Amino acid sequence: MRKLLLFAVLILSIAATAQTAPTPCSSVKPEAKKMSRPSPPACTEFQFTGGKRVVIQYSQPKINDPETGKPRKIFGGLEPWGEPWRAGANEATSLVTDTDLTIGDAKVPAGSYTLYIQPEQSGPWKLIVNKTTGQWGIPYPGEASDLVRIDMQMSKPPETVQRLTMSFEKKSGNSAVLNVEWENTRASVPVSDTATGMGVQK
């Protein structure tokens, strides 16, 4: 009986790990019709010592209108101030991690989440980690399903960024910085693995 119980616990543990293990970006193969969208899918990840990782899958809208080709005002225009933005286009932007993270000053347990960003006309923007997953990017499911809201550090990229771009910038120790860049704005937040050592950007 005891052996049976231990076996059941082992199976449940393996299943739980499989549920939260993110698919590496190198193994993400979007359909051709998605790649031909005006806002194609993209992926960025950061791998920590021991093989744990955090993976973000999102879509890359661009400044120029896909129909007219003319530039658009993005923040404070296409994306209003003070409202949650899906941080991409098409399907919801996903974050999956198989290790407990600290993002900014907030704890984010291993699991699957949806990311939103709330642009602000003045003051820091908010990174929203939402517990509802698997949905289309809009509408925002509501603050009641948020796990955390995190202040982001604001700066400007060296040049205008035509397509929304997310990337992990490796730092010392067990941490990286997630940079979200579009138009003339960069919003950043530190991300660290609370259990393992230094990460390796992929």
Residues 71-97: tens digit of each pLDDT:
999 999 999 999 999 999 999 999 999
Write out the chain's pLDDT in tens, 202 residues. Answer: 554 444 433 333 434 444 468 999 989 888 888 888 889 999 999 998 778 999 999 999 999 999 999 999 999 999 999 999 999 999 999 999 999 999 999 999 999 999 999 999 999 999 999 999 999 999 999 999 999 999 999 999 999 999 999 999 998 558 899 999 999 999 999 999 987 544 555 5
Q: Where are the domains of the chain?
A: 21-201
Q: How far apart are CA 85 and CA 137, in angstroms?
A: 9
Is residue 105 left, alpha or beta, with left meaning phi > 0 and alpha meaning psi from -120 to 50?
alpha
Question: Which run of H or E residues covers position 163?
Answer: strand 161-170
Cα–Cα nearest to 105, from 75, 129, 77: 129
pLDDT for 194 equals 86
Q: Dihedral through CA 30, CA 127, CA 77, CA 33, nearest 10?
A: 10
Residues 126-140: tens digit of each pLDDT:
999 999 999 999 999
Q: Which two tokens stand for residue 196?
A: 């393992």
